[in-house]
Amino acid sequence: MSDAIRSERTRLAAAGARAVAADLSGQPSRDVAKGNAFLAMLLLAMSIALLGLALLLIDAVADGAGRFGISLFTEKASSLPANAGFQDAILGTLWVIGGVILFCVPIGVGAALYLEEYAAKERWWNRLVEVNVQNLAAVPSIVYGILGLAFIVRGPLNLGFIVLAASLTLTLLVLPTVIIAAREAVRAVPDSIRQGSLALGATRWQTIRRQVLPAAIPGVMTGVILAVSRAIGESAPLLLLGAATFVTANPTSPFTEGYTTLPVQIYNFFARAQDDYIQLAAAGIIVMLIVLLAMNSFAIWLRNRYEQRW
């Protein structure tokens, strides 16, 4: 830094200090008022977001607390609200989501590794893939439901209204999120690690398999958990895929026909006239919120625990 610049800065700093000193004795300037108004707006924005969540929680707890208990987990859906529970819906969710995890992890990580490690960024088709992955993440879930109905339940795959069809459809739905998260994780591994590995005579695949992937796993897992949380909460596409039917039996395999999931069951119970069912549905919301909060907390814990600082 040259002396000229330094003395200029000193002069400006001194002028600034004088201006502040002048304010001390005078009225708060308009700038200060503006700053405070802006801060108030930001606080308001945050409160609205929190308020929504708080209202949902209060409403669900007020309605459902009386109904919340172990019987929710031990009883299946029933035509008598007093006997009804969510066991079949919880198991349905587990089966569907288990399938989603099974499919979306290898496909998502594979796609991310290809895009980050192999694809030549300057080729137009790779850029097209990139843009489209981002776009797919924003497609409404009902569109995936229609796709699943046309291509998986019927059409080429013709699987029928079974659990596996729901798993595959939800996999398509969350795959863009998983790919984006996994790409971020892979990109965060510094090049010096790749170079160090290659310089030892490792092949590209050995480098990816033994260095890049292990270092990226925590980030990938975080992304997968967040994506899966989204899949758990989805009901719209499942309504098209056969989860809407009223069932009283637990699903037993990916090929079970006639199943339901938590959000769909909550939706079904709310749609009934009896007050008892409304209470039950509210209790179901509490169950779901607990599951989602637990999963998101686990994702955050995982990220903090295993995050590699370079």
Binding site for another protein (CB under 8 A): 120, 190, 192-193, 195-203, 206, 210-211, 214-215, 308
Residue number, 301 or 306, with CB nearest to another protein: 306
State the minimum distance, in angstroms, from the CB of residue 304 to another protein. 16
Residue number, 60 or 220, with CB nearest to another protein: 220
State the minimum distance, in angstroms, from the CB of residue 249 to another protein. 48
Please report how many Cα atoms fall inside a 13 Å half-sphere around the Cα of residue 115, on the Cβ side: 28
Strand residues in 210-304 grouped as ranges (E): none
Residue number, 155 or 190, with CB nearest to another protein: 190
- 3 backbone dihedrals φ, ψ, rounded to 5°: -65, -35
Q: State the Cα–Cα distance between residues 86 and 250, nearest whole angstrom.
A: 10
Length of the chain in residues, anyone? 310
State the minimum distance, in angstroms, from the CB of residue 310 to another protein. 8
Helices and strands of the chain, counted as H and E runs: 13, 0
Buried-exposed string 45-64: b where 16+ CB fall within 10 A, e elsewhere: eeeeeeeeeeeeeeebbebb
- Sign, CA torsion 262/265/266/267: positive
Residue number, 171 or 197, with CB nearest to another protein: 197
State the minimum distance, in angstroms, from the CB of residue 196 to another protein. 4
State the minimum distance, in angstroms, from the CB of residue 308 to another protein. 5
State the minimum distance, in angstroms, from the CB of residue 180 to another protein. 23
Residue number, 138 or 199, with CB nearest to another protein: 199
CB 303 within 8 Å of CB 219:
yes
Q: State the Cα–Cα distance between residues 62 and 237, nearest whole angstrom.
A: 29
Residue number, 203 or 245, with CB nearest to another protein: 203
